[in-house]
Structure 1
């Protein structure tokens, strides 16, 4: 039920949850991101620090124990970027289910008006996009919201709140009733937080809510996020009219709560708990407020502005001075923007020319591609062209320009999407790659070692094609751990055509390849795969490090089991299982057992087991055991000639320079 009338002040807290697409586009898998350690990648780390926390925020009791746990999204307005939702649904389904539940609960409480807002599909800066691309991004975002939340969106959050008249016209044309902007993005905003009514040049209307800039800054960057009492008092201190409605709202990145600020979700829960007890205050969402108080105050838009660049939208196309680290320059932003704009224009021309004979309306087909999924009934080339367009949209993800250097993780992801679009362009690919490199050559990294954007682009390209990597991963797992094989390797469906031929089919495009494979093991820890595309193609040899991550790890597990069976005693396994000894220490002790201290005993040493122990150290990437090095050195340097001849070939594996063998060799 709606708590109205009599509410003196409405309060809305909005959280914008978003992560860029992190999947590399050839296998469509999220690779390990070392900077996110100990987590696998930044999505995983932020989910642990923030997303699961905001849906299960702890509210402490007076004795410091937990009084209760609250899903804060049941009380606040929020949006979740579609590229993040895609990851959450797959990798953190319980967290995503709690987000959906929060919207459902809010609809029950607010007369059908849910807390969740939609967002354009990719986090691109819409004022810098063509109208056609704006329309597709909004269309995909609405369709994704409808599919996941089971209702039509009333509001849409704009990436970086970047706005111009055409963007608002596109939103209004697709049925969006409101968006949220920063206070400096309109002239003469309405009083008391009331929504403004904006009419586009085409005569369409949309409501604009303006968040409180000072309060939002205090939460996003402190000190309010660290003091829930002060935060609540600041919101309650905002002026209200003698009669009539008012709303005070704040808007921040959702990652504020737990990721940017540890325990920020607890501060949020505490503030909501306190405000809920205040007489005359109602905590609600923008849609519910708008349903009771339609926008009536005409406002003028300050176009080409955003919430995160004081220079408008220059952060995404020029060296405007916005940066996260001092003493860096961002002159690279302009050639990156110009290069990708040029590439997009070329891609769109190829799409229209090639798709017109295959699709009755290519651009409507592109809109449908983001809503209905890969159309399996279409010919392969039509599906490749649609996938090319998807990557041409993904390469404009705003994070590629937001940070300080063209060699950053986010920019590399955008360049990979550009490379995938080029690859799908077919015969024009080499020309497009050369043209993009010409633009990127003018974009210099702040790190001299990285060179120019052209160098970064080349370094971002995969060493091996996606089908080759998928086939190699499948072949190695089938050989080393046949019970662990799987038929889906990232973007590909993989299976046997016959004993040594593997068939690989792209799940989106349907492109099909047959590859003859042979697994070899020149060293026990280093399997290799010979691959020969059929009927004719360039043969390749892939090593363990070239495989998709899951398949590489399954291969390592199989090799580990094989080596441990040779190296570890029953007692070692008991100690390891019981947690009474460190794994590396156990391996070191096992190595010492097979490296007797007395040279006279070396004749009875089990060389195979000693080598297997060395293999395990290599596989686990452990530094060599100190005592094993000491014993090896004593034997290799002081032992009789026969012992030295036997041991010195292992010098490098024990961590010694190759010169040791030359200096003390017999």
Structure 2
């Protein structure tokens, strides 16, 4: 391994979940996706599990799970979201690490990360310990092995953090070249100054630590990394590989490692099709005999450090001013608003530190009265987070740590103290200070976590520090003209996210109207048991009434409510809760809410009443998606009622009102959608209707047609995979693609292509059978060839 290459991707997303509900709410800026996690997954995390390599004809020749060949950061907050919401992507990432161990002499491609990406040098020693302990535990639970490396968020470094990382059994970390201060050969006395990025990045270095421990440090090639992230290297995978190869010295005889580190999101999200360039680069490198693709621990085994380094403490990879980006107006910004001030960073840091320093000693002291070792309990609390606080995990936790057989109230207090610690770490996440204004989602999110921690402290410790928090934020200037200070941002964007058990119970009734699971229950943070004894859905009005029990799995709080929800349109929504009143009281309420004034009846009978203006964006999004399909049928019904009149006007040559054309276009689109959904059994009918629409200058809904065609292709491929010798599903694909071409529809076939690629082994078997005279196999193979070509897959 005299010449080796390693590419590291730092794949990470912050916690975006509502701290009270445990799920990510809709984020309008991520449209057409629900939120930014979904969007980046579709553009990057998913595509990197099956990155395409195309042949000369533009057909997919091979797919590469890039995670199995590069080194990558396994960030806990991202993996937790993927596990719940995109389990197929999560599974492919975990499997990639297993595959990489076979490729790289038993060493996995994944490395751990400090738990929630806070800036380690700005944290207390205790918080650093938790970050490392939780990061290691999270990694081990997911990958089934101990991590060998750990990513320091933003590569922000100090010796204390490195010492704690090494103490956890971590062998190495990765830093930027300008973070090296001086180097010398191991055993030598004299140091060489390499500050300013002059360190030789082609070798690992030993960093000696105050405790007597040591850790290996890899300094990545900053020039190539910068050109990957901000230049055009990802426009051509061959050129990307060539640039890495050109970095080797022609004269040097010792072993060399050329390696880079960038945000993993560069490959597909920041740079469209970047994952394809990465895959081609990896294939190019693996095909060579004069260079080896590797990961850091494999290289470290083969080539232990021969030099040691003194790192420049309190530096990072993304701020030229050390750590200024996360505590003051240093001049670093995102670039979208070059004239904006970041003077808000200082007050936000001050406010968060105030909360941290006020809560940590008080919660630790209170926790110490209930558990044997508060530090051990806090370290072990990650087991509760990983299990989503399910009952078995909570029971096991108390068996390990409780001083005695705790009462239910004491158990709830312990859980609340641990959640204070959890939220107090999340409120320090680096994204809160990274961008251009206090109104950015990352900054709002850390304020929400702080609010959650302060609320719990008020409930359990009687400690009210929110007024002091707001006072500090009043000194934070805001660039967004809608707000004058950070206090106004907090009141408008952070505080409304807070919910109590009453609101969660009322929300459960609202979601029950539409047979949906409330986000609070779906996230696992709450158990919600609804007994909806009365329900009606007539004349566009929905009503539900019953009882609902709500229990917080995180803190153990619980309550039982009578609950009602009424819907007569998006602007006519009422959902309410009150203390339970018994069966007779529920019957009386039902008679009232089914009367002439349901909303008035609910307002009069219930103590906590919410209406349409109280809906969160997530609730509005969920309801709108649920009822939207009915709009199409309603429009078609209007068209059916008016069809005879429209035809008569057309026959007489009398122009129909403009609305008639819209009705007709919608009705025709619905017919086309039905044909696509059935697999286009009669393409001629589809073509005829399309031609008729053109003749009348009617515009179809191309986006809806494209989505329908894409869904049908995927469904047909799944059926083809399940029906081993039946060519009918494959023929459906051929017909569907033919019909889609009539309108030039944009098809989303990524999943379909993956399914098709997975069937190439079956195709080879069918070709072999066809060669022996099997006519059925011949028909299947021919259909597969044509279907694969339709979606851009090479079959041999």
Instruction: Report the TM-score when normalising by structure 2.
Output: 0.68
Identify the residue that residue 4 of structure 1 maps to in structure 2: none
Q: 1:236: Cα distance to partner?
A: 1.2
**5+ residue gaps, structure 2:** 184-198, 399-410, 534-545, 582-604, 644-658, 668-796
**Secondary structure of the corresponding residue to residue 273 of structure 1:** helix
Residues 446/555 of structure 1: CA separation in 2 closer, same or farther (3 Å cut): closer
Q: Distance in 2 between matches of 1:106 and 1:263?
A: 23
Identify the residue that residue 501 of structure 1 maps to in structure 2: 547
Q: Does 1:272 align with 2:318?
A: no
**Secondary structure of the corresponding residue to residue 312 of structure 1:** coil
Q: Distance in 2 between matches of 1:524 and 1:193?
A: 61
Identify the residue that residue 440 of structure 2 maps to in structure 1: 408
Identify the residue that residue 511 of structure 1 maps to in structure 2: 557
- Equivalent residues of 2:326, 2:430 under 8 A apart: yes
Q: Does 1:243 align with 2:277?
A: no
Q: Paired residue for 2:455, among 401, 409, 423?
A: 423
**Secondary structure of the corresponding residue to residue 303 of structure 1:** coil
Q: Does 1:145 align with 2:154?
A: no
- Equivalent residues of 1:471, 1:504 under 8 A apart: yes
Coordinate RMSD, CA, aligned: 3.0
1:531-571 alpha-carbon deviations (Å, 9 max, x no partner): 22579x99321124645677656655676688888875397
Identify the residue that residue 322 of structure 1 maps to in structure 2: 332
Identify the residue that residue 105 of structure 1 maps to in structure 2: 99
Q: Does 1:53 align with 2:86?
A: no
- Equivalent residues of 2:504, 2:520 under 8 A apart: no
Q: Distance in 1 between matches of 2:355 and 2:552?
A: 24
Q: Distance in 1 between matches of 2:497 and 2:259?
A: 49
Q: Does 1:173 align with 2:173?
A: no
Identify the residue that residue 394 of structure 2 maps to in structure 1: 376
The 5 A counterparts of 1:529-544 are 529-533=575-579, 539-544=607-612
Residues 354/230 of structure 1: CA separation in 2 closer, same or farther (3 Å cut): same
Q: 1:289: Cα distance to partner?
A: 0.3
Q: 1:82: Cα distance to partner?
A: 0.5
- Equivalent residues of 1:487, 1:495 under 8 A apart: no
Q: Distance in 1 between matches of 2:361 and 2:664?
A: 60
Residues 137/570 of structure 1: CA separation in 2 closer, same or farther (3 Å cut): same
Q: 1:72: Cα distance to partner?
A: 1.4
Q: 1:296: Cα distance to partner?
A: 2.9
- Equivalent residues of 2:74, 2:139 under 8 A apart: no
- Equivalent residues of 2:174, 2:217 under 8 A apart: yes
**5+ residue gaps, structure 1:** 1-6, 576-581, 591-666
Q: 1:430: Cα distance to partner?
A: 6.9
Identify the residue that residue 716 of structure 2 maps to in structure 1: none
Residues 521/148 of structure 1: CA separation in 2 closer, same or farther (3 Å cut): closer
**Secondary structure of the corresponding residue to residue 96 of structure 1:** helix
Q: 1:488: Cα distance to partner?
A: 2.3
Q: Distance in 2 between matches of 1:195 and 1:583?
A: 72
Residues 216/483 of structure 1: CA separation in 2 closer, same or farther (3 Å cut): closer
Identify the residue that residue 215 of structure 1 maps to in structure 2: 224
Q: Distance in 2 between matches of 1:297 and 1:84?
A: 35
Q: Paired residue for 1:17, among 3, 11, 29?
A: 11
Q: 1:66: Cα distance to partner?
A: 1.8
| Stretch moving more, 439-448 or 203-212 | 439-448
Q: Does 1:359 align with 2:374?
A: no
Tell me how many residue pairs correspond in the alignment.
577
Q: Distance in 2 between matches of 1:404 and 1:485?
A: 34
Residues 410/534 of structure 1: CA separation in 2 closer, same or farther (3 Å cut): farther
Q: Distance in 2 between matches of 1:573 and 1:200?
A: 81
Identify the residue that residue 593 of structure 1 maps to in structure 2: none
| Stretch moving more, 206-215 or 518-527 | 518-527
Residues 35/587 of structure 1: CA separation in 2 closer, same or farther (3 Å cut): farther
- Equivalent residues of 1:524, 1:559 under 8 A apart: no
Residues 114/569 of structure 1: CA separation in 2 closer, same or farther (3 Å cut): same
Q: 1:584: Cα distance to partner?
A: 11
- Equivalent residues of 1:475, 1:519 under 8 A apart: yes
**Secondary structure of the corresponding residue to residue 464 of structure 2:** helix
- Equivalent residues of 2:639, 2:663 under 8 A apart: no
Q: 1:574: Cα distance to partner?
A: 14
The 5 A counterparts of 1:413-562 are 413-427=445-459, 431-459=464-492, 460-462=494-496, 465-478=499-512, 480-481=513-514, 488-490=521-523, 491-496=525-530, 500-521=546-567, 526-533=572-579, 539-544=607-612, 546-547=614-615, 555-556=623-624
Q: Distance in 2 between matches of 1:14 and 1:562?
A: 48
Residues 201/540 of structure 1: CA separation in 2 closer, same or farther (3 Å cut): same
Q: 1:529: Cα distance to partner?
A: 1.5
**Secondary structure of the corresponding residue to residue 15 of structure 1:** strand
Q: Distance in 1 between matches of 2:517 and 2:317?
A: 49
Identify the residue that residue 649 of structure 1 maps to in structure 2: none
1:625-656 alpha-carbon deviations (Å, 9 max, x no partner): xxxxxxxxxxxxxxxxxxxxxxxxxxxxxxxx
- Equivalent residues of 2:204, 2:219 under 8 A apart: yes
Identify the residue that residue 61 of structure 2 maps to in structure 1: 67
Q: 1:476: Cα distance to partner?
A: 2.7
Residues 473/180 of structure 1: CA separation in 2 closer, same or farther (3 Å cut): same
Q: Distance in 2 between matches of 1:483 and 1:417?
A: 27
1:344-390 alpha-carbon deviations (Å, 9 max, x no partner): 01111220232122222222211110134445235111101111110
- Equivalent residues of 1:332, 1:443 under 8 A apart: yes
Identify the residue that residue 596 of structure 1 maps to in structure 2: none
